[in-house]
A and B are shown apart, each in its own frame.
Chain A
Amino acid sequence: MQVSNKLTPFFENLNFERDDNTMVINFGPQHPSAHGQLRLVLELDGEQVVKAYPDIGYLHRGIEKMAENMTYNEFLPTTDRLDYMAATSNNYAYSLAVEKLLGIEAPRRAQVIRTMLLELNRIIAHLFFVATHALDVGAMSVFLYAFREREFAMDLMEDYCGARLTHSAVRIGGVPLDLPAGWLENAAAFCDKVDHEVEHTYGALLNENRIWKMRLEDVGVISAEDALSWGCTGIMLRGSGVKWDIRKEEPYELYPELDFDIPTSDRCDSYGRYRLYMEEMKQSTRIIRQLIPMYAETSSELMAHSPQYISAPKEEIMTQNYALMQHFVLVTQGMRPPKGEVYVPTESSKGELGFYIKSEGEPYAYRLKCRAPSFFHTGLLQNLLVGTYLADVVTIIGTTNIVFGEVDR
């Protein structure tokens, strides 16, 4: 029987003294490969997992509650803290949801910049995945090489918006800044670099690596039906042979004009998913290369023209009285979108990142729900881990690519 006191509460779901030989262990929340704050309660029979219970909430900050008490523009920097590996995806998903609610569209140049930033962020997040996944499984050098390139990508982000992780580089209605001089050349050079490294460094180190294949092949197998039922999206779904990418199927931003492929794998295992991450990085560089010439063809507008909701450009605010008045009202009171509800899905690096916003016409959202892909991928663990061995648990947590900023919110 458990002895409970104030510090060690009674766990009604755990049985510490049992007749059979299963053992209950806590995996995390301080485990180095628990991706932040995942506490996984595993019941083991020998080395085999009999029951897995993901316990989350260690990084719960109440972001949805905060969203109800902040104006729409105030909340935007908070979205950086959801999936902190790809902050721009969150900023963008939120901005897009609000833009749909307002019925406005960003100008062409802002769209080019946004799409470039989104893909750059996808590369950053995927490089981070390859690096940490390899590190979890035991390949130290890939981590170092991948972080080198990730650093270059973060330099590009820093050149653009001044921040490395919490970008807030996308605003409701457009982007705040134009690209600095020389950014496009650097981005093109970076694309060449990433393509080369993906092929010749990470790919060469891992693709046919005997140990890597032994650790990943046929580990974490999930059927297409299960993947759909458990709410898997993104690479978790495409890794099970379902060709579903929101960028293609429900296109937003400039994706309908761009030429790129959606890689899928019917291996349904961790190795297939790893190959998809590598392939997606190449597709992202392909997209960025197509966007670079598109930038020159655009006019210089960066924010949508919608005086009711979006402040005018700085020059107008400084020179025109009415623009200043509008700006004052929008800053002090916040924009008041129409009454209604909207759910907008986007394809982030982890999967379907969607924002549900219920507006009652007030400057504060009545309800904001963030549909985070990692939340559902964490839920899947209780199904996926059963029957696997303890050594594979690390691989499976790694392959789901969960980020706790958006699991707990």
Chain B
Amino acid sequence: MRKYVPKDNVQKKAYYTDRFHVVPSLPRSKVEEESHFADVVSTIGADAKESYVEIGQLVLHINAEDNFKVMKTLKEKCGYTQCSEQSAVDYLAKDNEFELFWQLLNITEAKRVRVVCRLANGAAIESVEPLYKSANFAEREMFDMFGIKVNNHPFLKRILMPDDWEGHPLLKTYPLFGDEFAAWYEVDKIFGKEYRDIIGPENRDPGKVDIEDTKRFSRVGYEVPFGAEYNADEEVAVEYSETALVNYNKKTSKQLDERR
């Protein structure tokens, strides 16, 4: 029987795990009394659902709707003037939730706080861009990579992937080598979906040049007017290697012949 592969998490898995393997956890210590972190926790008050210190950094778990309020308090009352990083972790397969984190830095005390919250799938988070301008790019990246919508962001738009991309690459459902849309992206965009059959998966080439198309491609070595009729008999001086120009209509490809 074929091995079952879960579709909701296509991340690579360990091929073998010892039956008796016990996963240890990083030690989490309580916030020490009368330390800087204790002041932070007491300033945040009831908004902090859970707080502990992990490897020297305070971790504050909050509700997703309180994020702006908590960050504002942290910035204005506790001196966390920089948001070093913010992003998300995909827990959709397990809990149908994202885990969002903000990594804040206090320069005068040299302390770091990580604010963590859980956000339900499809819900939107409030932007912290009015507090930390660095969130402008960070939230756009989070939106691009996970599809998490951010309310009141000045310009929420894809940042790393093209604007017309489908899917969010860092989701656990997104395969490492891309999905079907990704594989056909260039072909779809330049020639249209109907060309998928003509080109075929084995000849799929993002750098394909159609020699007869004078509207979308310029000639190598000589110029033709935009939209000119292609004349096959015309003697053409090609300065570069002809192999770079694949003429799919010449019917030289064995694979294509077989399919036809």
Q: Which residues of B have CB within 8 Å of A231?
A: 82-84, 132-134, 138
Q: Which residues of B have CB within 8 Å of A336?
A: 14, 21, 23
CB of B182, distance to nearest CB on chain A (Å): 10
B147 touches A (CB below 8 Å): no
Interface residue ranges of B128-142 to A (CB < 8 Å): 132-134, 136-138, 141
Q: Whole-angstrom distance between the alpha carbons of A229 and B75 in the complex?
A: 10
Among A65, A233, A244, A362, find the residue whose CB has the most chain B CB atoms closer than 10 A: A65
CB pair A356–B103 under 8 Å, yes or no, is yes
* Chain A, residue nearest B135 (CB): A231
CB pair B55–A371 under 8 Å, yes or no, is no
CB pair A66–B176 under 8 Å, yes or no, is yes
* Chain A, residue nearest B26 (CB): A340
Indicate which residue in A9, A334, A371 contacts B164 across the interface (CB closer than 8 Å): A9
CB pair A230–B26 under 8 Å, yes or no, is no
Q: Whole-angstrom distance between the alpha carbons of A361 and B90 in the complex?
A: 16
Q: How many B residues touch A, CB cutoff 8 Å?
A: 55
Q: Identify the stretch in A184-192, A275-283, A376-384 within 8 Å (CB) of chain B at 4 or more residues.
A: A376-384
Contact (A352, B84) CB under 8 Å given A60-B161, A379-B137, A383-B133: yes
Q: Which residues of A have CB within 8 Å of B16?
A: 333
CB of B83, distance to nearest CB on chain A (Å): 6
Q: Which residues of B have CB within 8 Å of A56?
A: 159-160
CB pair B170–A65 under 8 Å, yes or no, is yes
Indicate which residue in A228, A334, A345, A378 contacts B14 across the interface (CB closer than 8 Å): A334
CB pair B160–A343 under 8 Å, yes or no, is no
Q: Whole-angstrom distance between the alpha carbons of A6 and B85 in the complex?
A: 36
Q: Which residues of B have CB within 8 Å of A66?
A: 176
B81 touches A (CB below 8 Å): yes
Q: Which residues of A have CB within 8 Å of B89?
A: 358, 366-367
CB pair A101–B26 under 8 Å, yes or no, is yes
Q: Mark B41-71, 1 if CB is under 8 A from A, else 0.
A: 0000000000000110101000000000000
Q: Whole-angstrom distance between the alpha carbons of A115 and B152 in the complex?
A: 44
CB pair A228–B107 under 8 Å, yes or no, is yes
CB pair A354–B82 under 8 Å, yes or no, is no
A46 touches B (CB below 8 Å): no
CB of B8, distance to nearest CB on chain A (Å): 14
Q: Which residues of A have CB within 8 Å of B12?
A: 68-70, 364
Q: Which residues of B have CB within 8 Å of A340?
A: 25-26, 28, 54
Q: Whole-angstrom distance between the alpha carbons of A228 and B192 in the complex?
A: 46
B112 touches A (CB below 8 Å): yes
Q: Whole-angstrom distance between the alpha carbons of A312 and B171 in the complex?
A: 36
Q: Mark A220-264, 1 if CB is under 8 A from B, else 0.
A: 000000101111010000000010100001100000000000000
CB pair B13–A362 under 8 Å, yes or no, is yes
B6 touches A (CB below 8 Å): no
A contact residues, range: 35 or more
A266 touches B (CB below 8 Å): no
A62 touches B (CB below 8 Å): yes
CB pair A354–B84 under 8 Å, yes or no, is yes
Indicate which residue in B28, B57, B110, B216 contacts A7 across the interface (CB closer than 8 Å): B216
Q: Which residues of B have CB within 8 Å of A356?
A: 85, 87, 101, 103
CB pair B170–A7 under 8 Å, yes or no, is no
CB pair B26–A65 under 8 Å, yes or no, is no
CB pair A69–B160 under 8 Å, yes or no, is no
CB of B178, distance to nearest CB on chain A (Å): 9
Among B15, B55, B85, B162, find the residue whose CB has the most chain A CB atoms closer than 10 A: B85
Q: Whole-angstrom distance between the alpha carbons of A383 and B129 in the complex?
A: 13
Indicate which residue in A344, A361, A367, A379 contacts B23 across the interface (CB closer than 8 Å): A361
* Chain A, residue nearest B142 (CB): A369
Q: Which residues of B have CB within 8 Å of A272?
A: none
Interface residue ranges of A13-70 to B (CB < 8 Å): 13, 56-57, 60, 62, 64-66, 68-70
A100 touches B (CB below 8 Å): yes
CB pair B190–A6 under 8 Å, yes or no, is yes
Q: Which residues of A have CB within 8 Å of B253?
A: none
Indicate which residue in B145, B169, B192 contacts A6 across the interface (CB closer than 8 Å): B192
Q: Whole-angstrom distance between the alpha carbons of A299 and B197 in the complex?
A: 65
CB pair B87–A69 under 8 Å, yes or no, is no
Indicate which residue in A360, A379, A408 contacts B134 across the interface (CB closer than 8 Å): A379
Q: Mark A162-202, 1 if CB is under 8 A from B, else 0.
A: 00000000000000000000000000000000000000000
Q: Whole-angstrom distance between the alpha carbons of A267 and B35 in the complex?
A: 35
Indicate which residue in B103, B136, B163, B189 contacts A343 across the interface (CB closer than 8 Å): B103
Interface residue ranges of A95-153 to B (CB < 8 Å): 100-101, 103
Q: Whole-angstrom distance between the alpha carbons of A243 and B134 in the complex?
A: 19
* Chain A, residue nearest B103 (CB): A343
B24 touches A (CB below 8 Å): yes
* Chain B, residue nearest A352 (CB): B84
Q: Whole-angstrom distance between the alpha carbons of A65 and B169 in the complex?
A: 8
* Chain B, residue nearest A226 (CB): B133
CB pair A343–B85 under 8 Å, yes or no, is yes
Q: Which residues of A have CB within 8 Å of B158?
A: 57
Q: Which residues of A have CB within 8 Å of B25?
A: 338-340
Q: Which residues of B have CB within 8 Å of A9?
A: 163-164
Contact (A229, B107) CB under 8 Å given A336-B21, A343-B112, A361-B24: no
Q: Which residues of B have CB within 8 Å of A69?
A: 11-12, 176
Q: Which residues of A have CB within 8 Å of B11?
A: 68-69, 364, 366
Q: Which residues of B have CB within 8 Å of A409?
A: 160
Q: Whole-angstrom distance between the alpha carbons of A69 and B177 in the complex?
A: 11
- Give me 19 A-to-B residue pairs in the complex whose CB atoms sit less than 8 angstroms apart, sorted by A's number: A6-B191, A7-B189, A57-B160, A66-B176, A68-B12, A226-B133, A228-B107, A229-B81, A231-B132, A231-B133, A233-B84, A333-B16, A343-B103, A345-B84, A354-B85, A364-B11, A376-B137, A379-B134, A408-B160
Top 7 closest pairs, chain A to chain B, by CB = A231-B134, A340-B26, A361-B23, A379-B137, A57-B160, A338-B24, A371-B85
Given contacts A103-B26, A343-B85, A379-B137, 14 further A-B contacts (CB under 8 A): A6-B216, A62-B176, A65-B170, A100-B55, A231-B83, A233-B84, A333-B15, A339-B24, A341-B59, A341-B101, A343-B57, A345-B112, A358-B89, A371-B103
